Amino acid sequence: MTGVALTVVDLLATRHAYAVFAILLCIGLYMMIANEHLVKKIIGLNLFQTAIFLLFIASAYVRGGAIPIVHDGGGETLHVSPLPQVIVLTAIVVGVSLTAVGLALCLRIYAEYGTLRTDALREVMREEDAIPDAPAAPDAPGTDEGGDAA
């Protein structure tokens, strides 16, 4: 039984990248959910993105794989797929752009409201009546503005 099934310890001992992936993913998700500061949320988003990049690269690993360049008279060799690397490069560009836009929005928010904490921003916006204190009450039946009430 012990030789057949891989235990979690054996799996983590042989696949370090997946353990790092899980740790980075959890830390990034926690930072996005639990922190009240917008810049820390962006840092958490970057950690989350890095975990996804690591997952793509680790899943594309081929032991003994060669660069997928075909030479004349080349024999049968095991090649590594370049597709995950291309996807990760594209995702890195998108991630950097998303981070830049997020930080630019943080600068604008700080210039306008003087804080980057979401709880303080909610209070300031409530004081300015930008967001309501409570959800709007539903209309009473038969009081449609455009229809005839019977």
Q: What is the pLDDT of residues 13-72, one digit of tens each?
A: 677 888 889 999 999 999 999 999 999 999 999 999 999 999 988 888 777 777 777 776
Give the Cβ contact number of residue 117 at 10 Å: 15
Q: What is the pLDDT of residues 93-147, one digit of tens each?
A: 999 999 999 999 999 999 998 999 999 998 988 888 766 666 666 766 766 655 5
CATH number of 8-62+82-127: 1.10.287.3510
pLDDT of the residue at 147: 54
Has residue 1 got a pLDDT over 50?
no
Distance between CA atoms of residues 73 and 60, nearest Å: 26
Sketch the domain layout of the chain as residue ranges: 8-62+82-127
Distance between CA atoms of residues 140 and 59, nearest Å: 57
Q: What is the pLDDT of residues 71-94, one digit of tens each?
A: 766 667 777 888 888 999 999 999
Distance between CA atoms of residues 42 and 56, nearest Å: 21
